Amino acid sequence: MTSAESSYRSILLSRPGAVEAEGLDEGVAGHYGDPVPEQRALARGTGYVDQSQRGVITVTGADRLTWLTTLSSQVLTGLKPGQSTETMFLSIQGRVEFAPHAVDDGTTTWLIAESQEAPGLAAWLDSMRFALRVEVADVSDQWAIIAATKDLSSELSAASEGARAASSPVAVWRDPWPEISPGGYAYSMEPEHPGLERPWFEHVIPMADLDSAAAALDEQGFTPAGSWAAEALRIAAWRPRWGAETDVKTIPHELDWMRTAVHLSKGCYKGQETVARVHNLGHPPRRLTFLDLDGSQHTLPAAGAEVFLNDKKVGHVTSARLHHEAGPIALAVLKRNVDPRADLLVRDTVAENSEQEGTDNNGAVEQWAAAQTVVVQPDAGSVVGRPKDLMRGPRDGGMRL
């Protein structure tokens, strides 16, 4: 289920009106016929999203949390049962290789990853066990994820008479975004971060119970929402996603991922030298930005669409969706020195018969005017010698080199 060539198809795709998503969300519904109402329901806490295409990895054994801490950018040692975090496994050059969500239940650490991410992550973790008391298993075919903007644990445990009861989640991951986690550092400067409007919970349930769990939620008045709805809320929250905002060159600083996935006071791990050097003395070469797109064409650019300033390419779109309030929006990764006040132009060759919302084209090059909202500041990094309070630093101390 978790390979790039996977043919996984969720049982919920058999529902009337279901249209399969593409890319990272292939195998589940992009929408069920009404993308905007689905998004509104999800935003107000009365919707849920099938994310059963996601990968799930379990790590068990007495040494699991200390072992994961030594390998990753985050401190998992002492993670309490039910406590959520996220972490990264970096290359020697400090580039993001894996970025799973993590929650521990007291005996097992559950790592929730993208479908294309999970096999490589599981194999790499297994190769790093050595003589420690840990066991790693890719259990993606056994477990499904249902996501929502509220904790649905009690609702997933309930069902009306005559319906097979849905299983309680074995684990619930609460997204720490956009809080500044202990040891984290914020590169965005917004006093009211838009991510505060998007609480997010990922519920791990048995794959065999996915249909009954969805039926139980339906009976309680919840609306099934597709991945398009989830993506629109994620983009509006400036929330980076592995495989969407990342590429082979991505370092955490570029995406404001230092706030939730990196602990600046922890000990040595692979890639730490780059993390410390860029944070303390340098600047990330690229920066994440939020784009408000011109909606007059009723189309959206695809991931990878080029971003221009005065006919010079300065970056690319990573994700784009239609938001139920803001209209067409996108995240883009730009060169660091792009003027944050400049209006930009997005250009894309939209494929014929595209399944994007509202697309009606013949494959011609299209372009969209785009206004920036800065996520990562152009002068992010170089905190050594920086006057205090210009950016928000770690809650529990500075960097130990």
3-state helix, strand, coil split of the chain in percent (to 5) is: 20, 25, 50
Do the strands 47-50 and 223-225 form a parallel or antiparallel pair, or are they unpaired? parallel
Query: Would you tell me the crossing angle of helices 227-236 and 35-43 to the nearest 10 degrees?
Result: 60
CATH number belonging to the domain at 286-374, selected among 3.40.50.261, 3.80.10.10, 1.10.3720.10, 2.40.30.110: 2.40.30.110
Domain with CATH 3.30.1360.120 in the chain: 1-284
Whole-structure pTM value: 0.92
Q: pLDDT in tens for each of the 401 residues of the chain?
A: 444 456 899 999 999 999 999 999 999 999 999 999 999 999 999 999 999 999 999 999 999 999 999 999 999 999 999 999 999 999 999 999 999 999 999 999 999 999 999 999 999 999 999 989 999 999 999 999 999 999 999 999 876 544 555 678 999 999 999 999 999 999 998 889 999 999 999 999 999 999 999 999 999 999 999 999 999 999 999 999 999 999 999 999 999 999 999 999 998 999 999 999 999 999 999 999 999 999 888 899 999 999 999 999 999 999 999 999 999 999 999 999 999 999 999 999 865 544 455 444 456 899 999 999 999 999 999 997 666 555 566 545 443 32
Q: Within 13 Å and on the Cβ side, how many CA atoms surround 229? A: 32
Q: Where in the chain is the domain with CATH 2.40.30.110?
A: 286-374
Beta-carbon-side half-sphere exposure of residue 322 (alpha carbons within 13 Å): 20
Q: Write down the CATH number for the domain with range 1-284.
A: 3.30.1360.120
- Considering only CA atoms, give the Rg of the chain: 21
Q: CA 258 to CA 108: how far, in whole Å?
A: 26
Q: How do beta strands 135-138 and 19-20 pair?
A: unpaired
Element at 289 (helix H, strand E): strand 286-293
Distance, CA of 95 to CA of 316 (rounded, Å): 18
